[in-house]
Amino acid sequence: MKIVRYGIRLENLTEQSAEMVRQWRNDDKIRQHMFYTASISQQQQQAWFKDIDNINNFYFVIYSNNKPVGVIDIAAINWSRKTAQSGLYIYEDACIGTDVPVRASLAMLDVFFLLLGINKVYAKVKGDNKVAHAYNTSLGFVKVNEIEGGFEYELSKEAYLQKAKQLRDSLMKLNGKGATITLQTSHKTDKWVQEQLHWADKVADIDLQVVVGF
């Protein structure tokens, strides 16, 4: 699956891009912010990818100006409860401190909150990661639990639409209301997503285009 919205492209993780992501993840500048700080081997990454390659986990490589710059995910989805976990990191130094992570987050959350029916998203943040705490709060996340090494945040769809309204409106003025979702129906997860989007409610501020095949 590919999502294009707010001038950002999100591409579903593949076996090939998973190796690039492993190398990013093992870099000290990323690893220091993870709860699990050990290095990840190729074998571990391959096993992990096989485990998450399903409709309950969506990991995306973030592309800005056609360059891969980071990773965002909505994972451990419970479709019956309509809940999920989420995370993000930017690897490309030139994109840190820019609006790239905001655009990536809004693009993903728009799709999963407004088109695929998720109602609540949770995020875990290490206690010393002040940037992530401030970032989550700006999107509407609220701190709900203290966990070992940090905190858990919760974001409801209603809080997101209220808190992020100004950000979404500003980005739509710059980039339009369009959202293009490209699906490869030979992939079981993409085929499932296509079926869900077929029944998705019309959303006033999303001009959705679904493209099948790439």
CATH architecture entry for 6-174: 3-Layer(aba) Sandwich (3.40)
Q: How far apart are CA 33 and CA 124, in angstroms?
A: 11
Full pLDDT tens readout for the chain, 214 residues: 999 999 999 999 999 999 999 999 999 999 999 999 999 999 999 999 999 999 999 999 999 999 999 999 999 999 999 999 999 999 999 999 999 999 999 999 999 999 999 999 999 999 999 999 999 999 999 999 999 999 999 999 999 999 999 999 999 999 999 999 999 988 889 999 998 987 666 787 899 999 997 5
Residue type, 174: L
Check residue 201 and give its pLDDT.
Answer: 65
Structural tokens at position 168: 């979404």
CA–CA distance from 93 to each of 11, 24, 70, 89, 174 (Å)? Answer: 20, 12, 10, 11, 24
Q: Using an 8 Å Cβ cutoff, are 118 and 156 in contact?
A: no
Nearest to 46 by CA among 83, 74, 21, 78: 21
Distance CA 4, CA 20 (A): 21
Q: Which residues contact 64 (CB under 8 A, 6 or more apart)?
A: 8, 9, 92, 95, 100
The predicted pLDDT at position 119 comes to: 97
